[in-house]
């Protein structure tokens, strides 16, 4: 019995050490994830991601401005932040700027977050009705 407890404690310690080591090795990735999440945690920036995610290919910046409903200067600031964390790709095309999501998986990640929030809200609704 004591042997089993000792083996169990040793296994748990080994697993803990593995987790700690993994987190330490991925510290830079964790910081990048924090920066990414802070950047997309904004109503206008999420709208930009969702709008660009609904198209195949690219969208003109002025069309995106109409969709989002903010000034050109404000949109430019949001786009600069999204470019800085690798969410949005832009390229000049004559007198216009064409925009797209740099990685389509970004749209999927935001959709997953939306799904989790919707599920959580539906779990809470019966509790609030009491």
57 or 15: which leads in pLDDT: 57
pTM, two decimals, is 0.73
For the residues 109-129, what does the mean pLDDT come to?
Answer: 81
In the beta sheet, which residues pair with residue 90? 99
User: In the predicted model, what is the mean pLDDT of the chain?
Assistant: 86
Number of Cβ atoms within 10 Å of the Cβ of 74: 13
Confidence (pLDDT) at 127: 58
Q: With beta carbons less than 8 A apart as the criterion, state whether 46 and 40 touch.
A: yes
At 1, the pLDDT band (50, 70, 90 cuts) reads: low
For the residues 77-94, what does the mean pLDDT come to?
Answer: 95
User: 46, exposed or middle or buried, with CB in 10 Å at 0-12, 13-18, 19+?
Assistant: middle
Distance CA 13, CA 108 (A): 36
32 or 97: which leads in pLDDT: 97
Q: Give the contacts of 100 (CB within 8 A, at least 6 positions apart).
A: 52, 55, 57, 58, 59, 88, 89, 90
pLDDT in tens, 3-12: 565 555 566 6
Confidence (pLDDT) at 110: 83
> What tokens were used for 105?
């998986």
Distance CA 46, CA 14 (A): 41
For 41-45, 61-65, 78-82, 123-127, which range has the lowest pLDDT when averaged over its residues?
Answer: 123-127
Confidence (pLDDT) at 62: 96
What is the CATH number that goes with domain 43-130? Answer: 1.10.10.10
Handedness of CA 28, 107, 95, 42 (dihedral sign): negative
Confidence (pLDDT) at 120: 86
């Amino acid at each position: 019995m004591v042997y089993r407890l000792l083996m169990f404690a040793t296994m748990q310690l080994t697993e803990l050490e593995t987790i700690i080591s993994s987190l330490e090795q991925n510290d830079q990735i964790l910081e990048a994830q924090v920066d990414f999440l802070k950047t997309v945690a904004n109503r206008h920036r999420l709208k930009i991601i969702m709008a660009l995610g609904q198209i195949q290919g690219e969208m003109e910046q002025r069309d995106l401005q109409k969709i989002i409903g903010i000034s050109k200067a404000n949109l430019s600031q949001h786009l600069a932040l999204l470019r800085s964390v690798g969410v949005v790709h832009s390229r000049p095309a004559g007198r216009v700027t064409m925009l797209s999501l740099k990685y389509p998986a970004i749209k999927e990640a935001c959709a997953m977050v939306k799904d989790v929030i919707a599920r959580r809200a539906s779990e809470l609704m019966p509790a609030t009705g009491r």
